[in-house]
Amino acid sequence: MKHGANALLIGLLSLGLGSGAQAASLIDFVGYSYELGGFPPSEPGDALNFVAQVDGLTPPLSWNPAGNEYTLHLTNLTSLGAEQPDPNNIVVSYSGGVLNLHEDSSFNSEPGINPPNATVPSTYIDGPLYLGGDLAQFTIFFNTQFNSGAFEADVTFLGGSHLSELGAANTGYTFGGVFIFGTPDGYDLQWDGQILLDPVAVEPVTWGGVKSTFARR
């Protein structure tokens, strides 16, 4: 399942990269989102929330997966409403967005059902802040016929106990990935994604390019 997600993610994020350039993956994650009123549709003002378990961190970031659990929490994302370029596809942009990655020795994260609930978001934010930052240009591309799609945003890291490991490079990161099937009751989407450091500026991905990628799945 991860291979299919990575293939689509690489296809989306590699558009516009120079010859031989590759995006460096820093953080791998899988999680679930829920939006006020459900998704789709996405109405202006709806709040999007997301929790995830991190299953990979790569240098320069250090981690101890045997001793700690690593979890992501996204909040403060406000829908600007859905655009519909054709009957089967929607594009949703969001304003705001805060991303926090926590490190926790309890290994207690549990999505439960019908969030927010007794474990969401509490068991995803109960450890020290590992990395925290702001999101910008958060966008969801979604095919309503196949219930599949992709997401992308820019990340600027601003704090956390491991911020210094990034050196001066706290900007230029992309939060992106695809939606995969299967969610607990009360959640809208399962996300499979990465946070990557872009070696050069990425040109905007066209909706036609995204749709053609979906068609090849």
Q: What is the pLDDT of residues 16-61, one digit of tens each?
A: 333 344 557 799 999 999 998 899 999 999 999 999 999 999 999 9
Q: Beta 148-159 vs 173-180: how paired, if at all? A: antiparallel
Residues 6+ apart with CB under 8 A from 140: 42, 90, 91, 92, 94, 149, 150, 151
Whole-number Å distance between alpha carbons of 47 and 44: 9
Residue 6 pLDDT exceeds 90: no
The per-residue pLDDT for 36 is: 87
The per-residue pLDDT for 214 is: 44
The per-residue pLDDT for 25 is: 76
Q: State how many domains the chain has.
A: 1
The proportion of the chain whose per-residue pLDDT surpasses 90, expressed as a percent, equals 75
- Please provide residue 48's backbone torsions phi and psi, each rounded to the nearest 5 degrees: -100, 130
Residues 6+ apart with CB under 8 A from 61: 26, 27, 131, 162, 165, 166
More confident residue, 128 or 23: 128
Residue 127 pLDDT exceeds 90: yes
Instruction: Specify the range with the lowest mean pLDDT, choosing from 74-83, 105-114, 138-147, 204-213.
Output: 204-213
Token pair belonging to 100: 């926090």
Task: For residue 28, give its domain range.
Answer: 2-215
Ramachandran class of 180: left when φ > 0, alpha when ψ lies in -120 to 50, beta otherwise: beta
Contact 51, 72 (CB under 8 A): yes
Helix (H, G, I), strand (E, B) or coil at 134: strand
The per-residue pLDDT for 197 is: 85
> Predicted confidence band at 217 (pLDDT cuts at 50, 70, 90)?
very low
The per-residue pLDDT for 3 is: 39
